[in-house]
Structure 1
Amino acid sequence: MEGFASKLPFGHSRSKSQSQEQDTSLTTLLTADQCADLTFLIATVTMTMRNSLLDTFTPEEMPADAKPAKSEEAALAAAPTDIENADVEKEHKRRKEQEQLRKDREKRQGDARKELAKPEVQELKKAMLKYFDEWRGRVVGRVGEVVNSREKAKQQSREVKEADVERTVKRSDTGMKSLSGIDDKGEDEDAVFRELYPPVETVLTQLDQEKRELVLHSFVLIVLSLETYSAHSRVLLLYLTSSLQLKLSVLKNDEETVARGLLEAASKQLSAEAETKKAAESSSTARKWKVGLAGVAGAALIGVTGGLAAPLLAAGIGSVMGGLGLGATAAAGYLGTLASSSVLVGGLFGAYGAKMTSQAMDDYAREVEDFGFIPIHNFHRPRKLDKEFRRLRVAIAISGWLTNKEEVVVPWRYVDPSIEGFALRWELESLLKLGNSMDSFVKSAAWSYAKGQIIKRTVFGALAAGLWPLGLLKLSSILDNPFSVAKYRADRAGEVLADALINKVQGERPITLIGYSLGARLIFSCLQTLAKRKAFGLIENIVLLGSPCPSDAEDWRAIRSVVSGRVVNVFSTNDYILAFLYRTSSIQLGVAGLQPILGIHGVQNVDVSEMVNGHIQYRYLTGSILKKIGFEDIDLVEVEQEETEMKAVEEMEKKAQKEKEGKVTNEDEEKAQLEKDIERKNEASTMDWMMEKMNVGTLWGSGRKEKTEAEKMVELEKRASEKDEVGTKGA
Structure 2
Amino acid sequence: MFSKLPWTNKDSNDSSQPSSDSDESLTTILSTSNERSQLTLLIATCAESMRHRITDTFTDTEPLDTAHQPDNDDALHNPDTDISEDGVNALDAVKEHERRAAELYEPKTMELKEAALADFDAWRDKVFQRVGEAVDLQEEVKEQKEVKRVDTKGESHTQSRLSSQTVAGGKPWVPMEMDVGVNETMVKLYPQTPTPLSELPEEKRALVLHSILLLLLSLEHYVSYSRILLLRLTTSLKLDMDLLAEDEGKTARALLTAALQEMNADGEMKKKKEENKETRHWKVGLASVAGAALIGVTGGLAAPLLAAGIGTVMGGLGLGATAAAGYLGALAGSSVLVGGLFGAYGGRMTGQMMDEYAKEVEDFGFLPIWQSNKTADTGKTADTEKDNRRLRVAIGISGWLTDQDEIIEPWRVLSPSIEGFALRWELEPLLKLGNSMSIMVKSYAWSYARREIIKRTVFATLYAGLWPLNLLKVSRVIDNPFSIAKARSEKAGEVLADALVNHAQGERPVTLIGYSLGARVIFKCLIALAERKAFGLVESVVLLGAPTPSDSADWRKMRAVVAGRLINVYSDNDYTLAFLYRSSSIQFGIAGLQAIQGVKGVENVDVSEMVSGHTAYRYLTGKILQRVGFEDISVAETEREEKELQEVRAREEAERQEKEKQSKPVDEIAEEEARDIERKAEQKSQETLMSRATENLSLNENGEGVRRGTK
Tell me whether the two structures share a fold, i.e. TM-score over 0.5.
yes
Q: Which amino acid is 2:606 matched to?
A: D
The answer to whether the Cα contact below 8 Å between 2:519 and 2:546 also exists between their aligned partners in 1 is yes
Equivalent in the alignment of 2:40: 39
- Offset of 1:682 from its aligned partner? 2.6
CA contact (8 A) 2:550 2:590 kept: yes
1:439 aligns with 2:438: yes
What's the offset of the Cα at 1:319? 2.1
Q: How does the TM-score come out when normalised to structure 2? A: 0.85
Cα–Cα, structure 1 residues 379 and 57, in superposed 2: closer, same or farther, change >3 Å?
Answer: farther
Q: Does 1:520 align with 2:519?
A: yes
Q: CA deviation at 1:484?
A: 0.4
What secondary structure, in the 3-state scheme, does the structure 2 residue paired with 1:421 have? strand
Is the Cα–Cα contact under 8 Å of residues 372 and 384 in structure 2 kept in the other structure? no
Q: Distance in 1 between matches of 2:609 and 2:704?
A: 42
1:390 Cα deviation from its structure 2 partner = 0.5
1:97-132 deviation digits (Å, cap 9, x = unpaired): 99x999877644422221111111111111111111
CA offsets, 1:10-56, max 9 Å, x none? 77376625338521100111111111111111111111100111010
Asked if residue 325 in structure 1 is aligned to residue 328 in structure 2, the reply is: no
Match of residue 611 from structure 1:
610
Relative distance call for 1:328 and 1:65 in structure 2 (3 A) is farther
Counterpart residue number, 2:493 = 494
Q: What's the secondary structure of 1:211's corresponding residue?
A: helix
Closer, same or farther in 2 for the Cα pair 1:197/1:533, shift >3 Å?
same
Q: Does structure 1 conserve the Cα–Cα contact (< 8 Å) formed by 2:512 and 2:542?
A: yes
Matched, 1:212 2:213: no
Question: Over alpha carbons, which structure has the higher Rg?
Answer: 1
| Superposed displacement of residue 696, structure 1 | 2.5
CA gap 1:15/1:569 in 2 versus in 1, 3 angstroms? closer
Counterpart position of 2:219? 226
Residues 322, 35 of structure 1: alpha-carbon distance in 2 compared, 3 angstrom cutoff: farther
Return the alpha-carbon distance in structure 2 between the equivalents of residues 550 and 148 of structure 1: 50
Which residue identity lines up with residue 164 of structure 1 in the other structure? T
Helix, strand or coil for the counterpart of 2:433?
Answer: helix
1:73 alignment partner in structure 2: none
Decide whether aligned partners of structure 1 residues 97 and 639 sit closer, same or farther in structure 2, where only a CA change above 3 A counts.
closer
The yes-or-no answer on 1:428 pairing with 2:398 is no
Indicate if the aligned counterparts of 1:567 and 1:604 stay in contact, CA closer than 8 A. Answer: yes
Q: 2: distance between equivalents of 1:434 and 1:123?
A: 39
Task: Say whether the 8 Å CA contact 1:620–1:646 is kept in structure 2.
Answer: yes
Matches within 5 A, 1:401-550: 401-550=400-549
Alignment match of 2:172 (pick from 175, 188, 199): 175
Matches within 5 A, 1:310-349: 311-349=304-342
* Cα displacement (A) at 1:297: 6.7
Are 2:356 and 1:356 aligned?
no
Q: Does residue 692 of structure 2 align to residue 678 of structure 1?
A: no
1:544–1:570 Cα contact (<8 Å) kept? yes
CA distance in 1, matches of 2:184, 2:473: 50
Q: Partners of 2:682 and 2:63 in 1: how far apart?
A: 52
**Cα 1:103–1:324 shift into 2, 3 Å:** farther
Q: Does 1:299 align with 2:302?
A: yes
In structure 2, the CA distance between the partners of 1:148 and 1:671, relative to structure 1 (3 Å rule), is farther
Equivalent residue number for residue 88 of structure 1: none
Say if 1:5 and 1:11, in contact at 8 Å, map to a contact too.
no
Contact 2:214 2:328 in 1 (8 A): yes
Q: CA deviation at 1:399?
A: 0.3
Q: Are the counterparts in 1 of residues 443 and 673 from structure 2 also a CA contact under 8 Å?
A: no
Gap runs ≥5 in structure 1? 67-95, 282-293, 301-310, 709-731
Query: Which letter does structure 1 place at the counterpart of 2:234?
Result: T
Contact 2:396 2:513 survives alignment (8 Å): yes
**Which runs of structure 2 are paired with 1:572-587 in the superposition (5 Å)?**
572-587=571-586
Structure 2: which amino acid aligns with 1:131? D
Question: Conserved in 1, the CA contact under 8 Å of 2:64 and 2:97?
Answer: no
Q: Which residue of 2 aligns with 1:153?
A: 141
- Greater CA drift, 266-275 or 107-116: 266-275
Q: Which amino acid aligns with 1:57?
A: F
Deviation digits for residues 161-201 of structure 1, max 9, x if unmatched?
6432123423555828899x85xxx3211111111111111
Residue 118 (structure 1) aligned with residue 116 (structure 2): no
The 8 Å contact of residues 131 and 536 in structure 1, kept in 2 or not, is answered as yes
Distance 2:306 2:492 in 1: 39
Q: Which amino acid aligns with 2:144?
A: Q
Structure 2: gaps spanning 5 or more residues: 68-83, 275-296, 374-382, 707-711
TM-score, normalised by the number of residues in structure 1: 0.82
- Alpha-carbon separation, structure 2, partners of 1:201 and 1:533: 37
Distance 1:475 1:643, change over 3 A: same
Mapped contact 2:473–2:674 kept (Cα < 8 A): no
Contact 1:9 1:22 in 2 (8 A): no
Supply the AA of the counterpart residue of 2:305: L
What does 1:144-293 correspond to in 2, within 5 Å? 144-160=132-148, 162-173=156-167, 175=172, 182=178, 186-271=179-264, 274=267
Partner residue, 1:626: 625
What is the deviation of 1:340?
0.2
Q: Contact 1:176/1:606 (CA < 8 Å) preserved in 2?
A: no
Counterparts of 1:461 and 1:597 in 2: how far apart (Å)? 19
C-alpha contact 1:10 1:28 (8 A) present in aligned 2: no
Task: State the 1:680 CA deviation.
Answer: 4.3
Match of 2:647 in 1: 648
Cα deviation digits, residues 490-520 of structure 1 (max 9, x gap): 0110000000000000000000000000000
Identify the residue that residue 566 of structure 2 maps to in structure 1: 567
Give the 3-state SS of the residue equivalent to 1:397 in structure 2.
Answer: strand
Deviations 1:310-364 (A, max 9, x none): x434432222224211111001100000000000000000000011111221111
Indicate how the Cα distance of structure 1 residues 188 and 175 shifts in structure 2: closer, same or farther if over 3 A, else same: same
* Number of residue pairs the alignment of both structures matches: 646
Matched, 1:136 2:124: yes
Per-residue CA shift, 1:429-471, capped at 9, x if unaligned?
0000001110121122211110111111111010111111111
